[in-house]
Amino acid sequence: MTKIVRAKTAAVKLRPAKGKPAKARKGSPDIERIRAIFARFEASNPEPKGELEYVNVFTLLVAVVLSAQATDAGVNRATRALFAEAPSPQAMLALGEEGVRERIKTIGLFRAKAKNVVALSAKLIQDFGGDVPRTREALESLPGVGRKTANVVLNIAFGEKTIAVDTHLFRVSNRIPLARGATPEAVERGLMALIPDQYMLHAHHWLILHGRYICKARKPLCGICPIEDLCEFPDKTLVPPLRQMPAP
Q: What is the 3-state secondary structure (H, E, C) of 186-223?
A: HHHHHHHHHCCHHHHHHHHHHHHHHHHHCCCCCCCCHH
Among 26, 166, 197, 216, the active-site one is: 166
Active site (annotated) includes residue 148: yes
* Inter-residue contact 61 to 153 (CB < 8 Å): yes
Active site (annotated) includes residue 197: no
The answer for 231, left when phi > 0, alpha when psi is -120 to 50, beta otherwise, is beta
Among 148, 197, 229, 236, the active-site one is: 148
| Number of Cβ atoms within 10 Å of the Cβ of 106 | 11
Which residues is 5 bridged to in the sheet?
A: 54
Burial label, 169 (beta-carbon count in 10 A; 0-12, 13-18, 19+): buried
Which active-site residues does the annotation give?
Answer: 148, 166
